[in-house]
Structure 1
Amino acid sequence: MPNDQNLADLADQLAVQRVISAYATLTGRGDWAPVLALFTADAVWEIPHLGLRFAGLEAIRGALAMLSEPLEFVLQHNAPAVIDVAGDEATARSGIREGGKYKGKAESVEYLGIYADTLVRTPEGWKFTRRVFEGIGTLEFGLVSS
C-alpha cells in the first residue's frame, strides 16, 4: 500500500510530466508567453549537436522564434518521461518527435531526439531550469499536397 511519501513522489512526477507535455503542446502556436512561463528566469536551453545555447528567457524567446520562423506549423509529440525527483529538483528524459511544414513549400521536416531536463519546484509549480535537446536525426521530405 502506498505511503504518503510515495503519493507525494507520484504527484511530483505527474506535475513534472505536465510541464513537459505543456511545452510540447504550446510550442507550435507561436505564442511564446505561455511557453516561457514554463521556465525559470535564468533557465538554459541547449541544442548541442547544432552548437546552440540560450540562457535566460529573452534568449530562449528569440531562439524559439528564430527556429520556428521558416515553418508554417509545427507539432511536437513527446513520449512519457522517465522522471527522478529529489526534493525540490527533478530530472527527466523524454523522447520527442517534432514535425512541421515549411512556409510556401510542399516540404516537411521532422526532428527526432531526446530531451534531458532539469526542473525545480517554484512557488508557481515545477519549471525548467535546463533543457537539452539531444538530436538523433532530421528528416526532410516532399508532401503530396500542401
Structure 2
Amino acid sequence: MASDIEDKLAIQHVAQVYADGVMQRNAELWGSTWAEQGEWSLPGMEKPITGRETLKGFWSQVMQGYPYVLHWVQPGLITVNGDKATARFYVQENIKDAKGDQVRVAGVYDDQLVRENGEWKFARRDFTVLYRGPTDLSGNWSAYSGR
C-alpha cells in the first residue's frame, strides 16, 4: 500500500493530467482521469454527467465551441482515507470561443477520488465558479466558503 505522501502525489498528478488533457484538447487523456462511473457536476446543470465514456463525449462536444482554452490548476488540498480521498483544486481558464469572444474563468473543484484498479481517479468533481468575465477581471466575483 502506498504512503499518504505517495497517494497525495498521485492525486496531484491526476489533476495535472486532467489539465494537460484540456490544454492538448485530448479527450482520451482527459477521460483517463475519471473513474468508470465518475460524475461531473457543473453550474447550471440539473444533474451531473455520469460515466467515463459519456463524460468524454460530452466534453468533446463542448470543446468544439472553444477552440482556445488555457487551463491552469493550482496544487490541491488533499485528504486520503484508504482507497478514497477528497481534494480541492483551484483552477483558472482563459478561453477564446468559436466567435472570437474571450473570457476568463476562475473556480474551484471539490473532488471525491477513488483508487480504481490501483490508480487514483475522479469519482466526482463539483465545479464552483468564483469569477467569470472579461480577462481584465472587471466582471462578477462570487465568494467561496468551502463545502
Give the TM-score, by structure 1 length: 0.83
Q: Which moved more, 1:85-94 or 1:118-127?
A: 118-127
Give percent identity, aligned residues only: 28
| Richer in helix (by share) | 1
SS in 2 for 1:71: coil
Q: 1:26 aligns with which of 16, 21, 25?
A: 21
| Richer in strand (by share) | 1
- Name the structure 2 match of 1:93: 88
- Name the structure 2 match of 1:51: 45
1:75 aligned onto 2:67 = no
Contact 1:25 1:75 in 2 (8 A): no
AA partner of residue 115 (structure 1): Y
What are structure 1's unaligned runs of at least 5 residues?
none
4+ long deviations beyond 4 Å: none
AA partner of residue 117 (structure 1): D
- Name the structure 2 match of 1:37: 32
Q: 1:103 aligns with which of 92, 98, 103?
A: 98
Shift of residue 37, structure 1, vs aligned partner:
1.2
Who wins on radius of gyration, i.e. which is larger?
Answer: 1
RMSD: 2.0
Q: Which gives a bigger RCO, structure 1 or 2 (Cα 8 Å, sep 6+)?
A: 1
AA partner of residue 111 (structure 2): D
Contact 2:94 2:135 in 1 (8 A): no
Contact 1:93 1:115 in 2 (8 A): yes
